[in-house]
A and B are shown apart, each in its own frame.
Chain A
Amino acid sequence: MEEHKNEYHISFFKPTTEHARLNRNMVIWFVLIWVVAIFGFQLALYVLQKPTPEPVLKTFKASWPAVSSGQASTQELQDHSFATLSVLGKVFIKPEYRKVLDRTLSRSVLSLCDSAQKVDVMANIQDFRAVIASIDASQARIDEINTKDALSSKQKKEKIEPLQKEINAGWEQYSIAKEKLVVQLTPILGLETTDVRTRILPLELTSSLEPLTDEEKMIVEKAMDLYLIHNQSVLTDTKLFGFPFHYFYTAIFLLILFVGLCWLYCVRTDKINARLNVVD
Chain B
Amino acid sequence: MMKKIILPILLLAMPALTFAATKSQSLEGSFKVGPAIILITILTLFVLVGILFRAKDTNDYYAAGRGISRVGSGMAIASNWMSAASFLGMAALMYGYGYHGLAYVVGWTGGYVLLLILMAGQIRKYGKYTAADFIGDRYYSQGLRAIGAIIAILISISYCVGQFGGIGLMFKWILGIPYGWAVLIGGSVVLAYTLISGMLGVTKNMQIQYVIIIVSFLIPLFILTFKFDYMWLLPQIGYGSVVSDTISGIPLAETKQLVNSLGHEFASVPAPEYAMPWDPSTGQTMFQWIALAFSLMVGTAGLPHVIQRFYVVPKARDARWSVVWGLFFICILYWSAPAYAAFGRILSANPEIGKLSKDAIVVYTAQLGEVNPLIVGLLAAGGVSAAFSTVSGLLVAGSSAFAHDLYVKVINPEAPPKRQLLFARLATVLMAVIVTLIALLDLALIGQLVAVAFSLAGCTIFPLFLLGIWWSGSNKAGAVAGLITGGLISLIAITYFIAGTQEIVLPFHDFVSYWLEAWYFAWIGAPLAILANIVVSKLTKPTPIEIRKFLIEKVHA
How near does chain A come to B353, taking the closest CB pair, in angstroms?
9
A258 to chain B minimum Cβ distance, whole angstroms, is 5
B335 within 8 A of A: yes
The contact of A259 among B121, B237, B316, B328, by CB within 8 Å, is B328
Known: A244-B243, A280-B316. A255 touches B331 (CB 8 A): yes
Q: Out of A30, A54, A236, which one reaches B113, CB within 8 Å?
A: A30
Q: A242 with B244: in contact, given A86-B269, A250-B99, A266-B320 (CB under 8 Å)?
A: yes
Question: Are A247 and B243 CB-contacts (below 8 A) given A8-B552, A196-B268, A262-B112?
Answer: yes
Contact A4 B253 (CB under 8 A): no
Name which residue of chain A comes closest to B329, CB basis.
A259
Residues of B within 8 A of A56 (CB): 270
Residue in B249, B279, B317, B331 whose beta carbon sits within 8 Å of that of A231 in the complex: B279
The answer to whether B240 touches A38 (Cβ under 8 A) is no
**B residues 95-122 with Cβ under 8 Å of A?**
96, 99, 102, 105-106, 109-110, 112-114, 116-118, 121
Residue of B nearest to A10 (CB): B472
| A27 cross-chain contacts in B, Cβ below 8 A | 117-118
B180 in contact (CB, < 8 A): no
Tell me if A107 counts as interface (CB < 8 A to partner B). Answer: no
B324 touches A251 (CB 8 A): no
Choose the segment among B167-175, B372-380, B396-404, B541-549 that binds chain A (4+ C-beta atoms closer than 8 Å): B541-549
Contact of B273 among A196, A230, A239, A251 (CB under 8 A): A230
Is B487 on the interface with A (CB-CB < 8 A)?
no
Cα distance A39–B551 in the bound complex, in angstroms? 33
* Interface-located stretch among A69-77, A87-95, A213-221: A87-95
The answer, among A9, A195, A254, A280, for a CB contact under 8 Å with B317, is A280
With A and B bound together, what is the CA distance between A226 and B279 in angstroms? 9
Q: How many A-B residue pairs have CB under 8 A?
A: 207
- The distance in angstroms between the C-alpha atoms of A34 and B331, with both chains bound, is 16
B290 within 8 A of A: yes
Known contacts A11-B470, A31-B117, A196-B251, A265 near B320 by CB under 8 Å: yes
Given contacts A45-B277, A280-B316, contact A258 B112 (CB under 8 A): yes
Min distance, Cβ A92 to any Cβ of chain B, angstroms: 7
Q: Does A269 contact B (CB under 8 A)?
A: yes
User: Which residue, of A38, A229, A273, has the highest number of chain B Cβ atoms within 10 A?
Assistant: A38
Docked CA distance A266–B115 (Å): 13
Asked whether, in the complex, the Cβ of B271 is within 8 Å of the Cβ of A10, the reply is no
Q: Which residues of A contact B102 (CB under 8 A)?
A: 247, 250-251
State the interface size on chain A (CB cutoff 8 A): 73
Of B10-18, B51-59, B344-352, B447-455, which binds chain A? Answer: B344-352
| B272 and A232 within 8 A (CB) | yes
The B-contacting residues of A in range 205-262, CB under 8 angstroms, are 226-227, 229-232, 236, 239-244, 246-248, 250-252, 254-256, 258-259, 261-262
Among residues of A, the one whose C-beta sits closest to the C-beta of B320 is A266
**Using Cβ atoms and an 8 Å threshold, which residues of chain B touch A239?**
244
The residue on A at minimum CB distance from B242 is A242
Residues of A within 8 A of B125 (CB): 280
**By the criterion CB–CB under 8 Å, are A11 and B350 in contact?**
no
Also in contact, A243 and B349, with CB within 8 A (given A11-B473, A34-B110, A195-B252): no
Interface string of B118-144 (1 = CB under 8 A from A): 100100010000000000000000000
Task: Tell me whether B338 and A251 are in contact (CB under 8 A).
Answer: yes
Within 8 A of A (CB), among B141-170: none
Report A136 CB to chain B, min CB distance, Å.
11
Evaluate contact between B324 and A9: CB separation under 8 angstroms: no
Query: Contact at B471–A10, with CB atoms within 8 Å?
Result: yes
Q: Do B281 and A227 touch across chains, with their CB atoms under 8 A apart?
A: yes
Whether B276 lies near A236 (C-beta < 8 A) is yes
A5: Cβ under 8 A from any B Cβ:
yes
Q: Does A109 contact B (CB under 8 A)?
A: no
The contact of B277 among A193, A196, A231, by CB within 8 Å, is: A231
Q: Are B324 and A266 in contact (CB under 8 A)?
A: yes
With A and B bound together, what is the CA distance between A266 and B121 in angstroms? 10
Residues 481-506 of chain B, each 1 if its beta carbon lies under 8 Å from chain A, else 0: 00000000000000000000000000
Contact A9/B548 with A199-B265, A248-B240, A280-B315 known, Cβ cut-off 8 Å: yes
Question: Bound state CA distance, A230 and B556, in angstroms?
Answer: 50
- B-contact bits for A1-35, CB 8 A (1 contact / 0 none): 10011001111100000001000001100110010
The listed residue with most B CB atoms (<10 A of its CB), out of A86, A231, A256, is A231
Residue of A nearest to B545 (CB): A4
Query: How far is B264's CA from A198's CA once the two chains are assembled, in angstroms?
Result: 12
Contact of B117 with A199 in the complex, beta carbons under 8 Å = no
Q: Residue-by-residue, is B231-263 near A (CB-CB < 8 Å gives 1, otherwise 0)?
A: 100001110110110010111110000000000
Residues of A within 8 A of B471 (CB): 10-12
- Report A163-218 residues with CB < 8 Å from chain B CB: 193-200, 203-204
Q: Which residues of A from 84 to 139 have beta carbons under 8 Å from B?
A: 85-86, 88-92
* Most B-side CB within 10 Å, residue of A5, A11, A92, A204: A92
Determine how close the nearest CB of chain B comes to the CB of A25; give it in whole angstroms: 12
The answer to whether A91 and B324 have CB atoms under 8 Å apart is no
Whether, in the assembled complex, B289 has its beta carbon less than 8 Å from a beta carbon of chain A, the answer is yes
Contact of A230 with B551 in the complex, beta carbons under 8 Å: no
Asked, given contacts A5-B545, A241-B237, A259-B331, whether A38 binds B324 with beta carbons under 8 Å apart, the answer is no
A227 to B98, CA, bound (A): 13
B263 nearest CB across to chain A (Å)? 9
Residues of B within 8 A of A230 (CB): 272-273, 276, 279-280
- Distance in angstroms from A263 CB to nearest chain B CB is 5
Given contacts A8-B472, A195-B252, A231-B276, contact A244 B247 (CB under 8 A): yes
The 0/1 profile, CB within 8 Å of A marked 1, for residues 307-343 of chain B is: 0000000011100110110011001001100100000
* B335 and A252 form a contact (CB under 8 A): yes
Q: Are B267 and A196 in contact (CB under 8 A)?
A: yes
Instruction: Pick the contact of B327: A203, A231, A242, A258 (CB < 8 A).
Output: A258
Q: Chain A residues near B110: list those with CB within 8 A.
A: 34, 38, 254, 258
> Which of A8, A226, A229, A236: most chain B CB closer than 10 A?
A8
Q: Answer whether residue A59 sits at the interface, using C-beta atoms and an 8 A cutoff.
A: no
B317 & A11 in contact (Cβ 8 Å cutoff) = no
Decide: B334 and A255 in contact? CB cutoff 8 A. yes
Output the least CB separation between A139 and chain B (Å). 10
Q: Does B179 contact A (CB under 8 A)?
A: no
Complex Cα spacing A248 to B237, Å: 9
**Neighbouring B residues of A68 by C-beta, 8 Å:** none
Q: In whole angstroms, how far apart are the Cα atoms of A46 and B99 in the complex?
A: 13
Q: How distant is the Cα of A10 from the Cα of B556 in the complex, in angstroms? A: 8
**Shortest 6 CB-CB contacts between residues of A and residues of B:** A242-B240, A243-B240, A89-B269, A242-B241, A8-B548, A280-B316
List 13 contacting pairs A-B, 8 Å CB cutoff, sorted by A. A8-B552, A10-B552, A26-B117, A45-B286, A54-B270, A91-B349, A193-B252, A199-B265, A231-B278, A242-B231, A247-B102, A250-B105, A262-B324
Other 14 A-B pairs with CB < 8 A, given A196-B268, A230-B273, A255-B105: A5-B548, A8-B549, A89-B351, A90-B269, A90-B273, A196-B251, A199-B350, A226-B280, A254-B106, A255-B109, A261-B117, A265-B320, A266-B324, A269-B121
> Which residues does A use to contact B, with CB under 8 Å?
1, 4-5, 8-12, 20, 26-27, 30-31, 34, 38-39, 42, 45-46, 49, 54, 56, 85-86, 88-92, 193-200, 203-204, 226-227, 229-232, 236, 239-244, 246-248, 250-252, 254-256, 258-259, 261-263, 265-266, 269-270, 273, 278, 280
